[in-house]
Chains A and B, each alone.
Chain A
């Protein structure tokens, strides 16, 4: 019986070696493929009731869940910052630096310069035209910034929708994979490729929305948003997105209610912040600037009588300033039609006041002087905008541009800093889980030797049997 045992175990070893070869070839084939985790083989002796039944090859997929968790957490933060930086870059291009020709700060000083020129020649039409044009440009710039911020918001909203769709389709796919993995694990099949795929999809979700995950004993993966809302527990709990509104899970948990218990990181959270917080505060600042301009020129206009106030050089869509209606002022600011020939107005009102009935006599610069003084008047602004609460027009406009630029640069420098951490972690993960071809070839060498030894074993036993039968 011992010779049969020798044959059986040699055969068993050949089988084990073939299995190992296939694993190694798969590893080598997938070397360099991101998200492919190296498959390791370990051989164990199989004992049944104290009888050695030869060796068994166990394929294991060995990952460091802690490391993966850190990578995902960092990738959420980086994607969030990256999404914000990208969304802001278009807007920042439009507003320019404070000293740029196109910036709103330069526009304010242009208006001031043209009014100063008007001081010398108040009756000259070319100079009047220049001053009105400067005012027009200033209003248009504020409107353009406002429009751009609206554009950024709707772009962000569109991107959120795409990303929510991606998260949902990945959740659905992982729900399927979970079932296949549980079933495969129960049936004792190799599930390592399914796990690779599941990790890849989970990584993608982590880029969009900050998540934590854990595995149950049967191999299924549970995914929670960082605030605790369940995204996948046996069944996918998909996200429901209301355009320009909230994101809830399909079981009714609102992810946008509170930053602490909702979404904290990920591209979706970043875009939500751009849409709902950064852009709204920028718009608020533009509203304040617009309200400052309207108020300043209404106050400086000598042709406006006692209250109720009437329209100044700048108007709220043709109406006088209304303190109850500041929101959206940046979008509605217009130069008074009565000074614009295009609207049937007269240029000379820039020197005489908006409600003057006749041009001022030559050389009267009282009104122009008053307009110029408006630039040096310190006005009060809403503290909620995050800008100085009292400032002159020029300094308010400058700090607006500076602050909005700073928001962007801060996000970008944070992004750069976190990117380094993320890249380090990602590299560590690649080094740990990836395939090292040298190692694989070295293993292959051992397998080759073992295979040859087993084959020799078979021949020897055969020769022994030959001797026996030829007696």
Chain B
């Protein structure tokens, strides 16, 4: 009988609307959960085979809940630099324990509110450990598998707290006074010391002596160590006219004080080998190529040396920064920066097919397809934004509207059941 089927249909409608109601309530309660993806409920018809054209049998409705995983949430500014958001597609790979594949369960997430824990691991609010590839001293991650999670390691900052960098390069810029050369030149050289860092992070000094010559515009540069032992010396003549006036013209008369001293007159670079270890420390001092203003100049004026150098004393990790392409840099209190970890993003063919787990984690399923690890900001995956978080993609206004809609639909469905019931009652009262 059609009335019965109408009643059944009304009941499926009630069931479907209550599913939607449940989804809306989850959405609203997680409206402020970082990385939450809203669940949308869509309906589809249930149709029963009709016995004939004279009667209609109602089928009802069925609810389909679907997570809108691929829909981007709002990116909001956050205070910590380890708060990471993904602008675009892709997921962070996380594990429930600080271990490698096999020891821990891996999952994907977009909830990037990471903090360092007591052991130096980066853990998000749901207790998930961020996974990445360590960057070796040469700046590369080596060959890693991008098709599986096998080479991923939990990101740990504990081993990177102190770092020193030996000095390898000094650039001497600034001015030497032209009017000090020529007859009556001072017999005492202009002497400047500069600190450099040894491979152990210790600081030592080099002396650069500029002896003006009685020949105009000619100087002798003598490089000595802190005890006065000369590494070597070189004469430099400066251009006194023309387009290059003031820049070095020629380097000549190269004298090596101790072995390992080299001077390239074409580039104006001295190479020293400082015997402070089994392997001597090599430092290049750049005075500027002839006829260029990249290094030292000689104009009438003050002796005004400026020495720029690389290297740093041992520093303590003061904070970390994550670049858009997913490189985690350590910034040390001596001002140096070092790339420590690469954080890849996982790309799946069908993100909406992922299975949601506790703690904003998604796991792979047959529907999602297998994950591929891609460098952030390349290919299909988005950029990583440090100091930002991805909010939920729930819109309260939409949810409230849906709520009203659901409420109305629910009471309408109930009315169907009630009306069908009343109709059946009329039928039963046909006989007294």
Contact = CB atoms under 8 A, between A and B. Distances in A.
Interface string A206-239: 0000001010111110101011111001110100
Contacts of A4: 74, 391, 395-396
Interface string A22-56: 00000000000000000000000010111101101
Nearest to B179: A260
A235 to B, nearest CB: 6
Nearest to B324: A49
A249 B194 CA distance: 13
A258 interface: yes
B335 interface: yes
A365 interface: no
A261 B188 contact: yes
Interface stretch (A302-310, A366-374, A463-471): A463-471
B299 to A, nearest CB: 15
Nearest to A253: B191
Most chain B CB within 10 A, of A56, A222, A230, is at A230
Given A182-B335, A258-B187, A51 B318 contact: no
B104 interface: no
Contacts of A235: 195, 203
Contacts of A324: none
B77 A12 contact: yes
B132 interface: no
A214 B397 CA distance: 58
A158 to B, nearest CB: 27
Determine chain A's interface SS by DSSP, over half rule. mixed
A33 B162 CA distance: 39
Nearest to B310: A217
Contacts of B308: 216-217
Interface string B155-189: 00000000000000000000000001000001111
A179 B237 CA distance: 38
Contacts of B194: 230, 233
A52 B429 CA distance: 69
B393 interface: yes
A4 B393 CA distance: 11
B385 A214 contact: no
Interface string B276-298: 00000000000000000000000
Most chain A CB inside 10 Å of its own CB: which residue of B302, B391, B393 = B302
A67 interface: no
A183 interface: yes
Interface in A158-207: 179, 182-183, 185-188
B313 interface: yes
Nearest to A189: B318
A30 B343 CA distance: 46
B388 interface: yes
A48 B85 contact: yes
Contacts of B324: 49
Contacts, number: 143
A323 B304 CA distance: 47
Max count, chain B CB within 10 A of own CB: residue among A2, A3, A182, A185? A182
A5 interface: yes
Contacts of B307: 222, 233
A244 to B, nearest CB: 21
B317 to A, nearest CB: 10
A8 interface: yes
Contact of B190 (A187, A237, A261, A471): A261
Contact of B319 (A188, A214, A222): A188
A182 B334 contact: yes
B77 A224 contact: no
A257 interface: yes
Contacts of B319: 186-188
Given A49-B87, A471-B404, A186 B331 contact: yes
Nearest to B306: A214
B332 A186 contact: yes
Counting chain B residues whose Cβ lies within 8 A of the other chain, the interface size class is 35 or more
A251 interface: yes
Given A251-B205, A258-B186, A3 B335 contact: no
B334 A218 contact: yes
B188 A260 contact: yes
B397 A468 contact: yes
B195 A233 contact: yes
A262 B393 CA distance: 69
A465 B388 CA distance: 25
A183 B75 contact: no
Nearest to B192: A228
B333 A182 contact: yes
Contacts of A228: 190-192, 210, 303, 305
A369 B393 CA distance: 120
A9 B335 CA distance: 33
A457 B226 CA distance: 66
A46 B186 CA distance: 56
B76 interface: yes
Contacts of B189: 261
A235 B77 CA distance: 39
B192 A257 contact: no
Nearest to A254: B188
Contacts of B187: 258
A83 to B, nearest CB: 21
24 contacts: A1-B394, A12-B77, A48-B85, A48-B383, A51-B75, A54-B77, A183-B334, A183-B335, A186-B337, A216-B308, A222-B306, A227-B190, A227-B303, A229-B193, A233-B195, A234-B195, A251-B193, A251-B207, A253-B193, A253-B207, A260-B186, A261-B186, A261-B188, A261-B190
Given A187-B319, A216-B308, 15 more contacts: A1-B394, A4-B74, A48-B85, A48-B387, A49-B324, A49-B382, A53-B76, A182-B333, A187-B331, A218-B336, A230-B194, A234-B195, A237-B193, A253-B193, A465-B396
Interface of A: 1-5, 8, 12, 46, 48-51, 53-54, 56, 179, 182-183, 185-188, 212, 214, 216-220, 222, 224, 226-230, 233-235, 237, 249, 251-253, 257-258, 260-262, 465, 468-469, 471
Interface of B: 74-77, 85, 87-88, 180, 186-195, 203, 205, 207, 210, 226, 228, 302-309, 312-313, 315, 318-319, 324, 331-337, 382-383, 385, 387-388, 391, 393-397, 400, 404
